[in-house]
Homo-oligomer: A and B are copies of this chain.
Amino acid sequence: MVVAKKWIYAKSFTGYPTDENFRLEEETLADVKENEFLAEAIFLSVDPYMRPYMLQYPIGSTMIGGQVAKVVESKNAKFPVGAYVHGNFGWRTHTVCNPNKGDPNSPPYVLPDFGQEPLSLGLGMLGMPGNTAYFGFLEICQPKQGETVVVSGAAGAVGSIVGQIAKIKGCTVIGIAGSDEKCDWIKTIGFDHAINYKTADIDAELKKAAPKGVDCYFDNVGGKITEIVRGQMNTLGRISVCGTVSCYNQNKAMVSDPQRDFVWKQLKQQGFLVWQWTERWLEGIQQNFKWIQEGKLKYRETVTEGFENMPKAFVGMLKGENFGKAVVKV
């Protein structure tokens, strides 16, 4: 009979969590049944996402999160006794798991061979944060050699990896972090520049570090830092929104924050100027003409007569007086 310890979400988070928000409990586990295994936690993860995510769970839930655990009993051949696994078991010392049940997005898995590296990397560089950096930066930012990349939360689990991957890809990398010690550290792992957002004039320092502007921004924080970086983005810049840690401990309703919407709903927003497609210009005209001829596109025009009425037509259009396209006939 195994007794697990587990941490309970005891009280709703408001502001930074305190001891009041948590309660340690014990739970006597059921026997291991067909397809199940019993795992004993070795390393547990604490991550920023837990702060906003827990708000969705009822009070009394076990705290969520990933862990690296050892299989100590098993009735599932894929998870044999002695294997090291990653599982989203929550803040628990022992867990009976049926890998066929639970969230299909994050099933438990046996860790690949890490060679001489510590098992704890299964929660960091060789786990969720590592993959967050790898996919979230490379797939969304599509960095090119010689580009300038900014990373906020640069000394964190994800940011510190993103900056190094950006260096591997031949970019100039600027990290934004919250202390001089962090800034010193990220420079030792390869960041070209580091800005301490608590003491520096971020806008001025960023202009100095990125004289050609910013091509890619990997955003862990949101808020004011993001506004400053966005203001220095280059044409066709890419922003990967990973987190909004700067507002995790505020008590705003979750839906009211646009940055958070971007992450949780995985939204894509792209601005454009039509000249982006200059080389395909006639394709657009020909397709639209075809649709007109087929009766699928209908138009209406607001025609003002007389070259002398250009200003009038312009202001009328700005005030929304037109239906469809506003033009002036000479």
Contact = CB atoms under 8 A, between A and B. Distances in A.
A133 to B, nearest CB: 8
Among A41, A238, A281, the most chain B Cβ lie within 10 Å of the Cβ of A281
A224 interface: no
Contact of A272 (B164, B258, B263, B286): B263
Contacts of A91: 310
Interface string A257-282: 01101111111111111111110111
Contact of A280 (B135, B240, B289): B135
Given A105-B278, A112-B286, A129-B325, A314 B239 contact: no
Interface string A271-304: 1111111101110111111011100111111010
Contacts of A134: 284, 287-288
Given A43-B329, A307-B41, A328-B44, A272 B266 contact: yes
Copies of this chain, whole number:
2
A21 interface: yes
A220 to B, nearest CB: 11
Contacts of A193: none
A165 B119 CA distance: 53
Interface residues of A, number: 142
B263 A239 contact: no
Interface in A158-187: 160-161, 164-165, 167-168, 178-179, 181-182, 185
A16 B318 contact: yes
Interface in A1-37: 5, 7, 16-19, 21-22, 24
Contact of A51 (B48, B179, B318): B318
In the complex, the 8 A-B pairs of residues with the closest C-beta atoms, listed nearest first: A262-B271, A124-B325, A157-B325, A131-B284, A241-B271, A105-B275, A239-B269, A263-B271
